[in-house]
Amino acid sequence: MGVIKLELHPSKIVNGLSIDPNPNWSFNDLLSELNSLESNLYNNASNSPLVPTAFIKSASRGISRIGRREKNVESQKAFVMRVDDDLMSDSDAEDGIEDRSLVPATRFDCNDIFLSESDDSDGENMQRLQVTVMDPIGVVEGAFHEIEHEYQLGVKEEIRNQLVTLETQLVAEKEKSTSAYVQVEKNNDARRQMDRKLDLHYQRKIAEALDNHLTAIQRDHEHRTQMEERRIRDDAALEEAKRKEKALQEERIRLQKAKEEEARQEAAKKAEEAAQEAERLAKEAADKLVKEKSGKDAIHAKTGPVSALPNAPSTSSTPNDSKAVKSAGNLIRAAENALKLEARRIQTYKELEDRNQSIIYGSNMDFRPKEREIVRQINQVTCSISSVRSKANNLVNIFNDRAFPQSVTVAIFAKKVISYFETSEQKNGSYFACCHVITYVSAQVPAVMECLLAEFHRACIYTVPKHIMRSKSAFGTEDNYFKAIGYKEEDGELEKTDNYLKRLGSVMKLYGALVQTEAEGVQNMHGLEEGWRWLARFLNAIPPNKYTAVALEAFLGMAGFALHRKYKSQFRKILSSIYKEFVHTLRSREDPRVSSVIRMLQVYIESQQFLQEPDGWQLQSTLLSHTSVPNAEYQQEQYNHNTPRRFTYQR
């Protein structure tokens, strides 16, 4: 059986027929031509006795078109149907054809042929055309072509199924895309709707917040206005209270001056009467001496030594008394101004005490509760701002109590403060805290500072500063000298030197803490300037010994830090002078009783302890917590509200 090959070939004419296809054929035209060939092969095979019955096809299947849509082919070429030379050898021999090349076929033009999609219509068309495309010698090739045609039909069917499937998938994808697009549009609409709702909600919240803010601003403005109005009213009331207090104070001062003038006149009158009485007694004594000549020597021997004592009271203006005063003046080492200030303060304080004694004895008032209250306030002072201001406020209220004379309570306070630190050893913080109380109180009641300084001078002569030289001819015994410099006598015996030095150091610590105290909001009436003057007077007039060394060391330990902060290089020069002269003189004496004091002074100067704050120098804001004690601003406000605001004092 031969094989039929279809390939393009140049146009040939054999027996008047051309087998070159039309170069402009389409794929459907080719299918139509193939169906025609199949029909002709079927007819020839049926009429030819050479073809076996098994190879005769019962009916033509026909080649249907793939679809009704035609595709334009840019370049279409003709084809040539050939039969292999070997397969066609037998046929060529019978027909007498000498050429063994492929047999050219007749050229067909199938442009006008219509191919239906059904097999019946194709068969009818094939039978109607009745075109012979092959000679009887191509039966085997026709059978092979039939097989190839079936394969092509299968391929076409598969392609058609794939096309249908592809179209179905395309339709499904299109529907899916359409539904997805619709869903996206719905989601976008829902999102836009939600955004509009959120925008409306946010705008409402912003409007509410703005309204609340404006309301809060208006409320705050109204509150500030009310506070300002209240402050103006309070200031007006405070000014009125200050004016009234000032008027009362002026009236009180006027009455006090009138009483003092009256007391002074009364004292002068009494002094005049005492002088007249003394003159009368002197005349009587002179007459008596004239009459009793034998008693003159005895009387003179008795009166001489008494007048030599520097502390003996002057009862008459005898030559021996003036001589004794002169000799005593040579024994005192002190600056002239310091002695004058001491004399004035002692005299004023003595007059105050005399007046207080007359008040106490002349009235039925019991001052012991007030005394206990003052002692309790002093004992309860702690190293906190709240405690200091609270105790100062309470003490000022006690002094301003009109039921009790202010001079009596002030004198009690001065005595109890000195006694408190003399009799008990305290920490440094207690000195600073008590001096803050003194500063606050003296700013309200100026008489407190004057009385306290007088008590300082009485308790320790080195607060003047003043030193009494030791002289056996002036004082006779050592006990008289010790009494003159401040030793106390208890049960007929003088206190020991260690106790005296300890008491001296305590009083000087309190004095040093007082001069360096700088309380907030008030002015210290005896501040750092007085401390600087004290130090200069001390170094210029006071000789170095164990008493003066203890006094100097205690003073520098409390006031050195504040003095250096203010005077800086000048204070360092003072310390250098102390180290070179004062300490050197003490060391040269080789007295074992002052070795400890010398060592403390050396350590203080060499290690520059004056650069460090003393222990307890800074008051604490609170002792426990801010929840249990009001804060400093509140306490200051309460303190200023409850006490008159007279923070300065001009002497």
DSSP class of residue 463? G
How far apart CA 388 and CA 266 sit, in angstroms, is 41
Beta bridge partners of 18: 13
* 118 confidence band (pLDDT: 50, 70, 90): very low
Note the pLDDT of residue 3. 47
Spell out the domains of the chain, with CATH numbers in brackets: 4-166 (no CATH), 333-466+477-642 (1.25.40.510)
Torsion of CA 256, 259, 261, 265, to 10 degrees: -160
What three-state secondary structure class fits 424? coil
Query: Among the ranges 232-246, 249-263, 593-607, which has the highest mean pLDDT value?
Result: 593-607
Token pair 């002036």 is found at: 474
98-102, 114-118, 279-283: segment of lowest average pLDDT: 98-102
SS (H, E, C) 289-345: HHHCHHHHHHHHHHHHHHHHCCCCCCCCCCHHHHHHHHHHHHCEEECHHHHHHHHHH
Residue 640 vs residues 204, 384, 393, 632, 634: alpha-carbon distances, Å: 50, 18, 9, 12, 10
Angle at which helices 406-423 and 447-459 cross, to 10° = 40
How far apart CA 502 and CA 546 sit, in angstroms, is 12
More confident residue, 268 or 134: 268
Average pLDDT along the chain: 75
pLDDT of residue 63 exceeding 80, the answer is: no
600-618: pLDDT as tens digits: 999 999 999 999 999 888 8
Note the pLDDT of residue 272. 66
* 284 confidence band (pLDDT: 50, 70, 90): low
Using a cut of 0.85, tell me whether the model's pTM lies above it: no
Beta bridge partners of 494: 489
Torsion of CA 477, 317, 260, 651, to 10 degrees: -70
Note the pLDDT of residue 138. 67
pLDDT of residue 55 exceeding 60, the answer is: no
Q: Which helix (H) or strand (E) holds 7?
A: strand 4-7
pLDDT of residue 534 exceeding 70, the answer is: yes
Token pair 């001819």 is found at: 473
441-481: pLDDT as tens digits: 999 999 999 999 999 999 999 999 999 988 888 888 888 89
Note the pLDDT of residue 558. 95
Mean per-residue pLDDT, 67-89: 44
More confident residue, 65 or 588: 588
Q: Considering the chain, what percentage of its residues have pLDDT values greater than 70?
A: 67
Burial of 518 (0-12, 13-18, 19+ CB in 10 A): middle
- Residue 317 sits at φ, ψ, to 5 deg, of -95, 70
The encoded tokens of residue 269 equal: 């009158």
> Taking Cα atoms as reference points, which of 77, 76, 75, 74 lies closest to residue 10?
77
Note the pLDDT of residue 123. 55
How far apart CA 355 and CA 100 sit, in angstroms, is 173
* 13 confidence band (pLDDT: 50, 70, 90): low
Note the pLDDT of residue 622. 57
295-321: pLDDT as tens digits: 434 333 333 332 222 333 332 333 333
> What's the chain's length in residues?
651
* 214 confidence band (pLDDT: 50, 70, 90): very high
More confident residue, 142 or 357: 357
> Taking Cα atoms as reference points, which of 63, 80, 81 lies closest to residue 27?
63
The encoded tokens of residue 168 equal: 């179905």
> Taking Cα atoms as reference points, which of 462, 440, 405, 632 lies closest to residue 517?
440
How far apart CA 437 and CA 510 sit, in angstroms, is 12
Torsion of CA 460, 465, 470, 473, to 10 degrees: -100
Burial of 253 (0-12, 13-18, 19+ CB in 10 A): exposed
11-15, 23-27, 397-401, 630-634: segment of lowest average pLDDT: 630-634
Other Cβ atoms closer than 10 A to 522:
21
Note the pLDDT of residue 367. 87
pLDDT of residue 623 exceeding 70, the answer is: no
> Taking Cα atoms as reference points, which of 492, 469, 489 lies closest to residue 481?
469
How far apart CA 455 and CA 242 sit, in angstroms, is 31
Query: What is the tally of helices (H) and strands (E) in the chain?
Result: 21, 8
* 240 confidence band (pLDDT: 50, 70, 90): confident
Please provide the distance, in angstroms rounded to a whole number, between the alpha carbons at the two ends of the chain: 154
Note the pLDDT of residue 285. 52
322-326, 335-339, 641-645: segment of lowest average pLDDT: 322-326
* 330 confidence band (pLDDT: 50, 70, 90): low
DSSP class of residue 614? P
Note the pLDDT of residue 193. 93
pLDDT of residue 97 exceeding 60, the answer is: no
Note the pLDDT of residue 378. 92
What single string gives the DSSP state of each residue in 79-121? -EEEE-TTTTHHHHHHHT----SPPP------TT----SSHHH
What three-state secondary structure class fits 320? helix
148-199: pLDDT as tens digits: 899 999 999 999 999 999 999 999 999 999 999 999 999 999 999 999 999 9
Other Cβ atoms closer than 10 A to 350:
11
